[in-house]
């Protein structure tokens, strides 16, 4: 099937500061820290386009691997669908910036599950058409979609930004993609939606329907077992379990329900906010950089997105 040849994450030049969130919203600092777990985290500057950082990540990956831009047959830009410009293709823009002229360019919208969905889609297309490489770009602008003046939006105050690029190929992989499973519970479709205010799109939670936490604890384990059953593996075979860094408490509950020790996961809450689809790649970057992965390690990546969708993808580390 192929997998991840290389990837890069680029952090923006600005940050969100908890003290600033407190001043804007009136929410006590302690209450905000209970959500963010850090006093500041990376976020796009007001005039910093996400696509430019995604292009920087893509350029770094192509230069590091020596892959010719003409060998890229697919460029997919993943995220929430709220790009730097409306009615516009950031995938095509980045392709043009990188000199990729022979690719099909398009976008995948599945919110924070978008990156892993795009990887699944791109690998399937490579297998279908016999292509050699695909480039998946992660370029959300989550911090710009949160109303920091609204105390009712405090549960979103940890949303930051970290554009990334993931080079996929059929050979020479760093991480093989072994299996993947995903499901959407459409009954949550209207739990969040956006409002346009002062030329900005802002996320709003619609009401206080209970049960989303239970849905996470039902759907993630079910997808984990779907993937492990496909591979004829067991929970004890999982070497690393990575999850979106949206809610530390949920992360801990999920590990407990699955029976996976916390030492087999990565907790970056003290360093970053919730970086959308880039969360697992920040974790992988640390694991690889610190030589904590061994060839043959089974890594499960659990990602979720509004809508609500839950996905689990199994990777096998092959080493550089």
Q: Which domain holds residue 229?
A: 176-317
Looking at residue 1, its pLDDT comes to 75
Same domain, yes or no: 115 and 157: yes
Same domain, yes or no: 181 and 249: yes
Q: For every residue of 164-230, which 3-state class applies, written as one string?
A: EEEEEECCCCCEEEEEEEEEECHHHCCCEEEEEECCEEEEEECCCCCCHHHHHHHHHHHHHHHHHHH
CA angle 40, 147, 220 (to 5 degrees): 75
Please name which of 277, 303, 300, 244 lies closest in space to residue 78, comparing C-alpha atoms.
Answer: 277
Looking at residue 18, its pLDDT comes to 98
Same domain, yes or no: 26 and 123: yes
- Domain endpoint, select from 146, 174, 202: 174
Residues of the chain with pLDDT > 70, as a percent, come to 100
Same domain, yes or no: 143 and 200: no
Same domain, yes or no: 287 and 276: yes
Q: Phi-psi region for residue 96, left (φ > 0), alpha (ψ -120 to 50) or beta?
A: alpha
Looking at residue 40, its pLDDT comes to 98
What are the tens digits of pLDDT across the range 54-106? 999 999 999 999 999 999 999 999 999 999 999 999 999 999 999 999 999 99
Q: Judge whether residue 320 has pLDDT over 90.
A: no
| Distance linking the first and last C-alpha atoms of the chain | 18
We report the CATH number of the domain holding residue 309 as 3.40.47.10
- Domain endpoint, select from 174, 195, 225: 174
**Would you state the structure tokens that stand for residue 32, as one six-digit string?**
């905000």
Same domain, yes or no: 141 and 192: no
Helix (H) or strand (E) holding 7: strand 3-9
What are the tens digits of pLDDT across the range 224-274? 999 999 999 999 999 999 999 999 999 999 999 999 999 999 999 999 999
Same domain, yes or no: 168 and 184: no
Looking at residue 310, its pLDDT comes to 98
Same domain, yes or no: 14 and 152: yes
Task: Using DSSP bridges, classify how beta strands 298-305 and 72-79 pair: parallel, antiparallel or unpaired.
Answer: unpaired
Same domain, yes or no: 130 and 250: no
Q: Judge whether residue 207 has pLDDT over 90.
A: no
Please name which of 275, 271, 279 lies closest in space to residue 302, comparing C-alpha atoms.
Answer: 279
pLDDT category of residue 301 using cuts at 50, 70 and 90: very high
**Would you state the structure tokens that stand for residue 4, as one six-digit string?**
């991840």
How many independent structural domains does the chain possess?
2
């Amino acid at each position: 099937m192929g997998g991840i040849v290389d990837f890069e994450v680029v952090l923006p030049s600005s940050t969100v500061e908890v003290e600033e969130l407190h001043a804007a919203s009136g929410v006590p600092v302690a209450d905000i820290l209970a959500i963010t777990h850090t006093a500041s985290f990376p976020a796009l500057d007001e005039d910093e386009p996400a696509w430019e950082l995604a292009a920087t990540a893509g350029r770094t990956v192509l230069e590091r691997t020596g892959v010719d831009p003409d060998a890229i047959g697919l460029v997919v830009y993943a995220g929430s669908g709220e790009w730097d410009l409306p009615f516009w293709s950031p995938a095509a823009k980045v392709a043009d910036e990188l000199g990729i002229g022979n690719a099909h360019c398009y976008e995948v919208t599945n919110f924070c599950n978008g990156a892993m969905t795009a990887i699944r889609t791109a690998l399937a297309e490579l297998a279908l058409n016999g292509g050699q490489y695909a480039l998946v770009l992660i370029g959300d602008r989550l911090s710009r979609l949160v109303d920091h003046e609204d105390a009712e939006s405090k549960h979103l105050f940890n949303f930051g930004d970290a554009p990334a690029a993931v080079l996929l190929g059929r050979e020479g992989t760093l991480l093989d993609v072994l299996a993947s499973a995903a499901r959407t519970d459409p009954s949550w479709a209207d739990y969040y939606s956006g409002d346009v205010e002062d030329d900005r799109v802002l996320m709003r939670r619609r009401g206080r329907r209970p049960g989303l936490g239970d849905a996470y604890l039902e759907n993630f384990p079910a997808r984990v077992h779907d993937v492990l059953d496909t591979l004829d593996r067991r929970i004890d075979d999982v070497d690393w379990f990575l999850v979106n860094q949206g809610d530390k408490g949920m992360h801990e509950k999920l590990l407990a329900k699955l029976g996976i020790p916390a030492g087999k996961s990565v907790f970056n809450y003290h360093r970053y906010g919730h970086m959308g689809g880039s969360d697992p790649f920040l974790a992988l970057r640390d694991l690889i950089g610190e030589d904590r992965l061994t060839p043959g390690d089974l890594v499960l990546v659990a990602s979720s997105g509004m809508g609500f969708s839950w996905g689990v993808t199994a990777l096998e580390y092959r080493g550089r």
